[in-house]
Amino acid sequence: MHSGGVRRAVTATAVLASFLTVLSACGGGAEGSGATQAAGRAARTPAATVAPTRIPGVGDRLQRRIPSGSRQVVAVYGDGKDSADSTVVLYTKHGSTWQRERGWAGHNGKKGWTTDHHEDDDRSPVGVFTLSDAGGVLPDPGSGLPYTRSAAFAAPRWWAESHWHDFDYVIAIDYNRVKGTPPNDQTRPEGEKKGGGIWLHMDHGSGTSACVSVPEQAMRYLLRTLDPRQRPVVVMGDRADLAA
């Protein structure tokens, strides 16, 4: 286990109906739009010939919301306002410059993005959010973030089989949630209508209900790499909103 990791044990006896409120933002039983080729998506990811002093493709509005002490940024570049396809890139800060570490093809809300997310709109929220807690069905792979393992994360078996492993690993995106709690904690400080339960989780090949999904190897890498001491955040949105 990573030296910064904290393991938390929880039981799997949570009431299923209550937990499905959290899952509704993440999985959704229906398939969204089809995935595009990973190579093509990666080619459209902003890149610099020299190490940038700002996160590539992110304009002043969101750049100013990245905490000055953050040295790890997960950037989610949505293909378009109404697209479920995205590219996810991890940047780390070295001195005053940002280095691109890894990138993956991923997915976001099946209807795209919104700057005013509400429950069940099937769109992912645009913004900058901290990353504080992790968990999943599977054992801790060596997470730097506090990790809660529980069978209660498992997707319902009446969902399509392609979704059954969505929550084997998850990282909570701190949108309308209480930091320092397991990802499936249902407390929503801004109220139920603002939605919640938005996670980074494993990809099933199409859009989500609001979460961001990446391949299993990406989740394992992010869990092992993100370090609370580096104040990791996610910067996410469609490319036009990110650049604004």
Per residue in 74-90, pLDDT tens? 999 999 999 999 999 99
pLDDT at 46: 53
pLDDT at 24: 55
pTM (predicted TM-score): 0.84
pLDDT at 28: 53
pLDDT at 45: 54
Task: Tell me which H or E stretch contains 149.
Answer: strand 147-149
Weakly modelled stretches of the chain, pLDDT under 70: 1-50
pLDDT at 50: 66
Query: Per residue in 109-138, is it b (16+ CB within 10 Å) or e — as a string?
Result: bbbbbbeebebebbbbbbbbbbbbbbbbbb
Residue 131, strand partner residues: 173
For the stretch 92-120, pLDDT in tens is: 999 999 999 999 999 999 999 999 999 99
- Between CA 62 and CA 238 the distance in angstroms is 12
Other beta carbons within 10 Å of 162: 15
Q: First and final CA of the chain: distance in angstroms?
A: 40
pLDDT at 213: 98
Strand 147-149 versus strand 7-9 pairing type:
parallel
Task: Report the candidate in 175, 183, 108, 177 with the shortest Cα–Cα distance to residue 145.
Answer: 183
